[in-house]
């Protein structure tokens, strides 16, 4: 049987990179997207050598929907049969109050977390419907379940990811396609450094006293959903560190 194809956005680090490694380790061919080509090329050489899979590198900014459409249009025939789309590209910038934040930063979050996810879905899902197979896995967040201080706009984008996942599942109900929303809690990746606008110390402090999840931990759950038998649709998964209870409540041991 032909190897399956997974398309991962934001694949150069964190959860996206974790998914690339996990799916490659299970023999899937990968289409990897991110903005930085060098990181993708490195991952490609590594995964092709280690697992004997094929990797197609597609560097573009998911916010640029014209470029996204052109790149997908130019995809060689052998790469068109995408089985799983992982809408992973996403970010949070800043921890400001809703009446004090930067509008330009909000635009970046809304454009990436919501509008780019929609654009990728719009570009990839019609082919899945035509082929009668496919799975869209959106990386949502615990942040989508309830707003928390300093997270207003980010939380709203992840609430949108939940609603868009539910809506897509409804719209695809008469097809064999599946839609999953994975909602991680605290995960230690570069994501938190970006949240603190590059302040690595602030990001490290955020995880002091608690063992956060890793991108690889999340990838295990993503793969579980993708590899479930065809009659099972994992609609939503909320996962977090053992010492976290909600988006705002966690137990952090005192460390000197």
Catalytic residues: 154, 158
From its phi and psi, is residue 20 left (phi > 0), alpha (psi between -120 and 50) or beta? alpha
Please provide residue 244's backbone torsions phi and psi, each rounded to the nearest 5 degrees: -115, 140
Number of other residues whose CB lies within 10 A of the CB of residue 17:
23
Report the alpha-carbon distance of residue 106 to residue 32 in Å, rounded: 26
Q: Do 192 and 161 meet the contact criterion of CB atoms below 8 Å apart?
A: no
Binding site residues, ligand 8X3, CB under 6 A:
141-143, 184-186, 247
Please provide residue 111's backbone torsions phi and psi, each rounded to the nearest 5 degrees: -65, -40
Distance of closest approach, residue 25 Cβ to ligand 8X3, in angstroms: 25
Contacts 24+ apart (CB under 8 A), 41-45: 43/11, 43/12, 43/17
Distance of closest approach, residue 210 Cβ to ligand 8X3, in angstroms: 11
- Please say which residue, 182 or 225, places its beta carbon nearer to ligand 8X3: 182
Distance of closest approach, residue 88 Cβ to ligand 8X3, in angstroms: 12
- Please say which residue, 46 or 105, places its beta carbon nearer to ligand 8X3: 105
Alpha-carbon Rg for the chain in angstroms: 18
Distance of closest approach, residue 223 Cβ to ligand 8X3, in angstroms: 19
- Please say which residue, 149 or 167, places its beta carbon nearer to ligand 8X3: 149
- Please say which residue, 141 or 181, places its beta carbon nearer to ligand 8X3: 141
Q: Which residue is nearest to ligand 8X3 (CB)?
A: 141
Distance of closest approach, residue 149 Cβ to ligand 8X3, in angstroms: 11
- Please say which residue, 20 or 142, places its beta carbon nearer to ligand 8X3: 142
Report the alpha-carbon distance of residue 90 to residue 87 in Å, rounded: 8
Q: Using alpha carbons, list the distances in angstroms from residue 124 to 12, 199, 206, 233.
A: 20, 36, 36, 19
């Amino acid at each position: 049987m032909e190897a399956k194809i997974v398309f991962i956005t934001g694949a150069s680090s964190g959860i996206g990179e974790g998914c690339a490694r996990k799916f490659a380790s299970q023999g899937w061919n990968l289409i990897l997207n991110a903005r930085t080509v060098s990181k993708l090329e490195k991952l490609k050489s590594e995964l092709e050598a280690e697992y004997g899979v094929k990797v197609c590198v597609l560097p573009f900014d998911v916010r640029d929907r014209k470029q996204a459409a052109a790149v997908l249009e130019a995809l060689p025939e052998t790469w068109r049969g995408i089985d799983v789309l992982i809408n992973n590209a996403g970010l949070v910038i800043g921890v400001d109050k809703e009446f004090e934040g930067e509008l330009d930063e909000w635009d970046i979050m809304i454009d990436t977390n919501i509008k780019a996810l929609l654009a990728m879905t719009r570009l990839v899902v019609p082919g899945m419907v035509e082929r009668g197979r496919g799975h869209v896995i959106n990386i949502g967040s615990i942040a989508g379940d309830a707003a928390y201080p300093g997270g207003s706009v980010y939380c709203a984008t992840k609430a949108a990811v939940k609603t868009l996942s539910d809506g897509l599942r409804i719209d695809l109900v008469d097809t064999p396609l599946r839609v999953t929303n994975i909602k991680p809690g605290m995960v230690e990746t570069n994501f938190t450094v970006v949240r603190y606008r590059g302040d690595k110390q602030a990001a490290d402090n955020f995880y002091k006293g608690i063992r956060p999840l890793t991108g690889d931990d999340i990838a295990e759950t993503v793969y579980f959903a993708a590899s479930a038998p065809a009659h099972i649709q994992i609609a939503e998964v909320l996962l977090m560190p053992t010492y976290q209870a909600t988006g705002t409540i966690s137990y952090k041991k005192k460390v000197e």
